[in-house]
Amino acid sequence: MASASSRRTDRVSLTLLLEASGTDSKGQEFKSPARTLLINRGGAVIILDQVLTPEQFVHLQRRAPHESHRKGQVRVVGQFGRQKDGYLYGIEMPDPSMDLWGVEFPAIAESTEAVARMLLECSYCRSREVVHLNELELRAFETNRGIARHCKTCGVPSIWTQAPNEDEDKLAPRKRRGADAAGAVPETGDQRGRERLRLKTRLTACIRQPGEDDELAVCEDISPVGMCFRSKRRYAADAAIDVAVPYSPDAANIFLPARVVYSEEMPKAGLFRHGTEYRRIGARTR
């Protein structure tokens, strides 16, 4: 549904507020609020309370005042269901140079040292990047809820924190220092070598499984090939799940497909411990 190049970037669960305009399936002009559920470099899944048809074009513009210059025509790929506030549509950008999201997406990580992925925001200029964290960076984030890294826009080191979702109450302009910012999973490589990177944590994780409500869990350890978590719910061995760690309900999150390797009961705690490994899959849809 998307081009191979756009699929080779992470998909980020992030709310960005939009204004959509165009014509509906009956040819009637409309202008309506919309929002994203997932974004990647070349497209998104959005919620819009209008009936659209596949292959038609609609105009999207960011509603946040400091991002209102981000706008353009996008193509509707298809409808994927409905929520209480609108239909779910997959959209893609026909122009590869279009930058609706203001996010820098690297290619899917090939590094054997990447243990987590996050969408981070510079505390100075608000530039955003999907960042693949190594063990030391994840430790720093767990301790400080942010990491120090060089900002390409500011040209100096700055503190980067998890990018927040947009909501109606936070649409006021933000001052910037500096200029405006214009599925696969990690390659397995040497499994035994990468397991040595396993990092003990107490990070919050979110476990997602089709047909079930999302569950928050405690991540006990994490490595480039998987993670271990404890939860109230028991997941069967070999079950397919999606996991996001670190997870924040008010910020951007990146879910990775995983497989439950083992499940064991923790009777004294009334919980279950699960070991998972990330799944390598080919072309992924949004």
What is the distance in angstroms between the CA of the first residue and the CA of the last residue of the chain?
8
Per-residue pLDDT, 8: 66
Dihedral angle sign, alpha carbons of residues 9, 12, 18, 21: positive
What is the C-alpha separation between 54 and 52, in angstroms, rounded? Answer: 7
Q: Does 111 share its domain with 54?
A: no
- Which CATH number characterizes residue 206's domain? 2.40.10.220
- Structure confidence at residue 286 (pLDDT): 40
Residues of the chain with pLDDT under 50: 1-6, 175-196, 282-286
Residue 179 covered by a domain: no
Question: Quick check: is 2 in a domain?
Answer: no
Residue 73 lies in a domain: yes
Count of all residues that appear for the chain in the document: 286
Domain range for 196: 191-278
pTM of the model: 0.82
Cβ proximity of 145 and 123 under 8 Å: no
Q: Does residue 182 lie in a domain region? A: no
Which DSSP state fits 9?
S
Gap between the Cα atoms of 110 and 104, Å rounded: 17
Q: Is residue 137 part of a domain?
A: yes
pLDDT at 181: 36
- pLDDT value at residue 110: 55
pLDDT for 229-268, tens place per residue? 999 999 999 999 999 999 999 999 999 999 999 999 999 9
Q: Is residue 183 part of a domain?
A: no
